[in-house]
């Protein structure tokens, strides 16, 4: 990766600034020993694409931080392992912690793996930050108060946001609802959350059909035919793997996308494949925690997106933000903890204490950690437009919400919370 002269000078300037104000917490401990971060991400199969996004973002962040002096003076070294099945991922995690002796493990996208790995993380007493994994079985939290494990926002955040936006913009404009969601816990949770919110706000609706295609199915023509036959006013879909653009393509070919309101909370994972040819305008489209073309994005985010585009000829999706948030909050926590110890390297316990309640500027906006070690992040969803210079859809108008308005508070039961929470509609 070629570093432009301007970038080098810029980092040199920031280095200078660092060395003046941060002399206080340049650690006494061996400055030449790097801090090792283990990365566990999928590199094959259906989640390989977001895994790659996350790895690239972590590498970018590490390079950037290292150019500025690393984490509290120590350079970052990444050790990358593959997330696959629960059993194999637990083994790679054990290798990272026991053999490679990394200081922190970051990664995990699959829910099943996250659930299996959670107890192992606690037993191993190894600080671990999940990118996208949760420890929920459905909507029930299985590890309510972990010490060493930090998890991402609940899976239902995007569905709740979509529901709220649907109510805000389309209330009274639809009577029949259809769902087409991937047949696993994520799809089921999303659909359940959407329907639950409609009920909560007493929106008259009739669910005319629910399609549950097998995760990753490439032939959705029959599902499209079934949807067409049911004639819904609104289609809710949390499809997010390679099947999403395929569905869009086949739905468009069958004339399903014209005149139907489309609510797709997780479409951002495949956003560069959602080509204008078959993806209509005015579709409610969720980018979760990173919308790459956000005009209000920070300079950091814009720099990342342009670097990603130049290096990989592609545009990042939200997994990149999750990965960045993990490594950035780790860095912030270590540096905060080191400050309180007057410059010596903090222990893992100190870092964990520092990270609870910590807030950082992530790529997609503000992000922070709750006391129960679940992330709070900024979500973006909006309506698609074709007015751009890409061959895929972007957002015309969009809204930003923070997850405090989208996910259940610590210890709450999901269904009770839906009934009683004060939603900002």
Partner 1 sequence: MKSASALTVALMGTAALGLLPYVLAPYYIGLLVPFFGYAIALLGFNLLFGYTGLLSFGHAMFLGLGAYGAAVIAGVLGVKSFELVLLGVIMATMIIALPIGFVCVRYTGIFFGMLTLAFGMLFHSFLFKFYHLTGGDSGMRVPRMSILGFEFAGYNKIEFLAGPFYFYCLALLVVAGFIMWRIVHSPFGLHLRTIRDNAHKAESLGVYVHGLRLAAFVISAAFGAAGGAILGLRVGLADPELVYWTQSGQLVFMAVLGGFSNFFGPIVGALTFTLLQDQLRSVTEYWRFILGVVLAVIVIGFPEGVAGLAVDLRRRLAGKPA
Partner 2 sequence: MSAFANILAGGVFHAAVLFLVAAGLQLVFGVQKIINLACGSFYALGAYFGITFIGYATQLGVTPWLILPGLIVSGILLGFLGPPIERMLRCVYDRDDSFQLLLTFALVLMFQDVFKFFWGANPRSLDNAYLIYGTVSAGDFSVPVYNVLVIAAAILTAAALGAFLQRTNYGRILRATAENRGMAEALGVNVRRIYSVVFTLGAVLGTTAGALVVPTAAASLDMAIEFVVEAFAVVVIGGLGSMRGALAGALIVGMIRALAIVFYPELEVLAIYLIVICILLLRPSGLFGRALA
183 binds partner 1 (CB under 8 A): yes
Long-range (24+ apart) CB contacts under 8 A made by 8-13 are 11/64, 11/67, 11/68
Q: Which of residues 247-276 bind partner 2 (CB under 8 A)?
A: 249-250, 252-255, 270, 273, 275
Torsion angles phi and psi, residue 361, rounded to 5: -90, 105
CB 315 within 8 A of CB 294: no
Q: How far is the CB of 43 from partner 2 (least distance, A)?
A: 7
190 binds partner 2 (CB under 8 A): no
Whole-angstrom distance, CA of residue 220 vs CA of residue 246: 7
278 binds partner 2 (CB under 8 A): yes
314 binds partner 1 (CB under 8 A): no
408 binds partner 1 (CB under 8 A): no
CB 136: neighbour CB atoms within 10 A? 22
User: Rounded to the nearest 10 degrees, what angle do helices 318-340 and 48-67 cross at?
Assistant: 40
Span interacting with partner 2, options 65-73, 120-128, 217-225, 280-288, rule CB under 8 A = 217-225
- The structure tokens listed for 420 are 């009683």
Whole-angstrom distance, CA of residue 93 vs CA of residue 80: 10
Q: How far is the CB of 288 from partner 1 (least distance, A)?
A: 20
Question: What are the Cα distances from residue 131, in Å, to 44, 150, 194, 225, 289?
Answer: 17, 9, 24, 36, 11
Whole-angstrom distance, CA of residue 168 vs CA of residue 165: 5
51 binds partner 2 (CB under 8 A): yes
Of 232, 275, 268, nearest to 49 by C-alpha is: 268
43 binds partner 1 (CB under 8 A): yes
Q: Which of 35, 37, 39, 49 binds partner 2 (CB under 8 A)?
A: 49
Q: How far is the CB of 209 from partner 2 (least distance, A)?
A: 8
Binding-site size, partner 2 (CB under 8 A): 42
Torsion angles phi and psi, residue 107, rounded to 5: 140, -150
65 binds partner 2 (CB under 8 A): no
Residue 209 binding target from partner 2, partner 1, none, CB below 5 to 8 Å by type = partner 2
Q: Which of residues 64-103 bind partner 1 (CB under 8 A)?
A: 81-82, 85-87, 90-92, 94-95, 98-99
- The structure tokens listed for 382 are 């909006």
Which residues are near partner 1 by CB under 8 A? 43-44, 81-82, 85-87, 90-92, 94-95, 98-99, 111-112, 115-116, 119-120, 123-124, 137-138, 142, 183-185, 188, 214-215
């Amino acid at each position: 990766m070629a570093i432009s002269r301007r970038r080098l000078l810029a980092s040199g300037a920031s280095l200078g600034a660092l060395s003046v104000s941060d002399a206080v917490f340049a650690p006494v401990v061996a400055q030449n020993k790097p801090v090792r971060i283990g990365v566990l991400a999928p590199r094959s199969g259906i989640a390989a694409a977001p895994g790659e996004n996350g790895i690239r973002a972590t590498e970018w962040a590490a390079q950037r931080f290292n150019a500025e002096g690393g984490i509290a003076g120590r350079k970052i070294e990444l050790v990358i392992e593959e997330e696959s099945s629960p059993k194999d991922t637990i083994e790679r995690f054990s290798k990272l912690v026991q053999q490679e002796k990394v200081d922190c493990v970051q990664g995990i996208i699959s829910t099943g793996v996250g659930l299996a790995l959670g107890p192992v993380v606690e037993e191993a007493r190894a600080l671990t930050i999940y990118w996208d994994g949760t420890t929920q079985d459905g909507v029930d939290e299985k590890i309510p108060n972990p010490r060493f494990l930090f998890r991402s926002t609940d899976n239902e955040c995007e569905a709740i946001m979509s529901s709220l936006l649907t109510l805000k913009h389309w209330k009274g404009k639809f009577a029949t609802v259809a769902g087409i969601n991937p047949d696993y816990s994520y799809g089921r949770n999303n659909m359940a959350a959407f329907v639950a919110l409609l009920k909560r706000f007493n929106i008259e609706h009739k669910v005319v059909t629910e399609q549950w295609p097998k995760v990753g199915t490439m032939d959705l023509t029959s599902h499209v035919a079934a949807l067409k036959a049911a004639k819904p006013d609104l289609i809710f879909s949390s499809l997010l793997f390679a099947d999403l653009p395929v569905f869009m393509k086949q739905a468009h070919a069958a004339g399903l996308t014209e005149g139907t309101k489309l609510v797709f909370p997780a479409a951002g994972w495949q956003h560069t494949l959602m080509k204008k040819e078959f993806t209509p305008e005015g579709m409610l489209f969720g980018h979760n925690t990173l919308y790459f073309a956000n005009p209000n994005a920070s300079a950091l985010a814009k720099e990342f997106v342009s670097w990603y585009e130049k290096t990989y000829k592609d545009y990042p999706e939200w997994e990149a933000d999750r990965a960045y948030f993990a490594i950035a909050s780790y860095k912030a926590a270590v540096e905060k903890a080191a400050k309180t110890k007057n410059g010596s390297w903090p222990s893992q316990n100190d870092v964990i204490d520092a990270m609870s309640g910590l807030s950082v500027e992530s790529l997609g906006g503000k992000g922070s950690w709750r006391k129960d070690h679940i992330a709070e992040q900024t979500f973006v969803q909006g309506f698609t437009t074709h007015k751009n210079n890409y061959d895929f859809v972007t957002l015309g108008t969009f809204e930003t919400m923070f997850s405090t308005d989208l996910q259940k508070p610590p210890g709450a039961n999901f269904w009770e919370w839906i009934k009683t929470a004060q939603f900002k509609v």
